[in-house]
């Protein structure tokens, strides 16, 4: 039975968090990657609106600088060992390259909050809600969504702007997140909301 839930629309100053939109995940040449041009395009559409409105934008990447960072995660998923500082795979997809004023969060686990300054940076930015996008729906996106909600941010999750290697996992996790942690919305609906706020 579905839980009763209430939608929480974006606030006056939402922040955009692009989770791991890096070459290692958007490029199928990497063992961790998948072909996802539609997800990249959806992220770009959101990025353009947030930049035009001068709203906070944060990117995350997965990067390991020592053997201890993410040790168990890397033991479970050995391909993660490719994500070293000198690797092209840790770079944000060139189609979405961060601007100098946009923060790139280095993380070693699933959530963009865990062991990072993201919570403090969101508070400093004055964000009152978050839009979360990226890869992958069942992994790092889900973990970041849950932590954002636990930091008391209403979460908008545009379904076209997230993706997963496993379509079944993608759909199941969208359903579950919408039930408890976030508003899973259509990209066009969210863009309309953001543009309406701009015109007020």
User: Under a CB-based contact definition with an 8 Å cutoff, are residues 105 and 122 in contact?
Assistant: no
For the chain, the residue count is 200
DSSP string, 135-192: E-IIIIIHHHHHHHHHTT--EEEEGGGEE-SSHHHHHHHHHHHHHHT-EEE-HHHHHH
CA distance 5 to 18: 25
Q: Which of 30, 36, 140, 186 is catalytic?
A: 140
3-class state of residue 69 by DSSP: coil
Distances (CA, A) of 192 to 47, 158, 187: 14, 12, 9
Which residues contact residue 10 at a Cβ distance below 8 angstroms, ignoring those fewer than 6 apart? 129, 131, 154, 156, 190, 193, 194, 197
Per DSSP, 112 falls in state S
- Catalytic site includes residue 36: no
Per DSSP, 4 falls in state P
Catalytic center residues: 140
């Amino acid at each position: 039975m579905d839980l009763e839930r209430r939608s929480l629309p974006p606030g006056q100053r939402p922040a955009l968090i692009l989770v791991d939109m890096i070459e290692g995940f958007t490029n199928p040449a990497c063992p961790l990657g998948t072909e996802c041009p539609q997800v990249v395009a959806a992220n770009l559409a959101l990025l353009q609106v947030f930049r035009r409105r001068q709203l906070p934008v944060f990117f995350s990447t997965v990067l390991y600088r020592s053997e201890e960072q993410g040790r168990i995660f890397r033991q479970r998923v050995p391909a993660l060992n490719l994500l070293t500082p000198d690797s092209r795979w840790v770079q944000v997809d060139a189609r979405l390259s961060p601007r100098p004023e946009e923060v790139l969060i280095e993380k070693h686990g699933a959530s963009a909050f865990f062991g990072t300054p993201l919570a403090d940076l969101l508070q400093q930015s004055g964000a009152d809600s978050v839009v979360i996008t990226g890869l992958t729906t069942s992994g790092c996106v889900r973990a970041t969504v849950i932590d954002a909600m636990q930091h008391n941010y209403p979460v908008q999750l545009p379904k076209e702007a997230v993706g997963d290697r496993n379509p079944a996992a993608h759909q199941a996790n969208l359903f579950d997140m919408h039930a408890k942690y976030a508003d899973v919305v259509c990209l066009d609906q969210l863009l309309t909301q953001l543009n309406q706020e701009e015109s007020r």
